[in-house]
Chains A and B, each alone.
Chain A
Amino acid sequence: MSEKNRDRKRSARERMLQQREADEARARRKKKLIVGGVVVAVIAAAVVTGVVVQNERSKPETPTAAPAGTIGDKNLVIPVGAADSPSVLTVYEDPRCPACDIFEKQFTQTIEQLEDQGKLQGNYHIVSFIDRSLGGNGSKYGANALACAQDVGHFRAYHDVLYKNQPQESDDAFGQKARLIELSQQVPGLDTPAFEACVNDNTYAGWVSAVQQDFDKSGFKSTPTVLLNGTPIYPKKGDEQISPEKLVKWVDEANQGKKLGTTGSPTP
Chain B
Amino acid sequence: MTSQQATAPRVGCGSLRRAVDGAAGEWIGLAVRLALAVVWGWAGLAKVADPAEAAQAVRAYEILPESLVKPVGWGLPFLELALALLLLIGLGTRIAAAVSAVLLLAFISGIASAWARGISIDCGCFGGGGTVDASKTEYLQEILRDTGFLLLAAWMVHRPRTKFSADAWLAA
Which residues of A does B touch, CB under 8 Å? 28, 31, 35-36, 38-40, 42-43, 45-51, 53-55, 57-59, 129, 132-133, 209, 212-213, 216-217, 221-222
Whether A39 contacts B91 by the Cβ 8 Å rule is yes
Q: Cβ of B70: which chain A residues have Cβ within 8 Å of it?
A: 55
- 25 residue pairs of the A-B complex, CB under 8 angstroms, read A35-B92, A36-B92, A38-B92, A39-B92, A42-B86, A43-B79, A43-B82, A46-B78, A50-B76, A51-B71, A53-B74, A54-B48, A54-B54, A55-B70, A58-B51, A58-B52, A58-B55, A132-B129, A133-B122, A133-B132, A209-B52, A216-B52, A216-B55, A216-B130, A217-B59
Whole-angstrom CA separation of A209 from B92 in the bound complex: 40
Q: Decide if the interface of chain B is mainly helix, strand, loop or mixed.
A: helix
A55 CA / B71 CA spacing, docked (Å): 9
Which residue of B73, B92, B133 has the most chain A CB atoms within 10 A of its CB atom?
A: B92
Chain B stretch 33-75: residues in CB contact (< 8 A) with chain A: 48, 50-56, 59, 66, 70-71, 73-75
Query: Do residues B52 and A42 form an inter-chain contact, with CB atoms below 8 A?
Result: no
Instruction: Determine if A42 and B82 form an interchain contact, defined as CB atoms under 8 angstroms apart.
Output: yes
Cα(A48)–Cα(B78), bound, Å: 9
CB proximity to A under 8 Å, residues B125-157: 127-133
In the complex, chain B residues whose CB is within 8 Å of the CB of A38: 91-92
CB distance from B13 to the nearest CB of A (A): 30
Q: Pick the contact of A50 from B50, B79, B95, B129 — CB < 8 Å?
A: B79
* Given A39-B96, A54-B51, A57-B51, A46 contacting B81 (CB threshold 8 A): yes
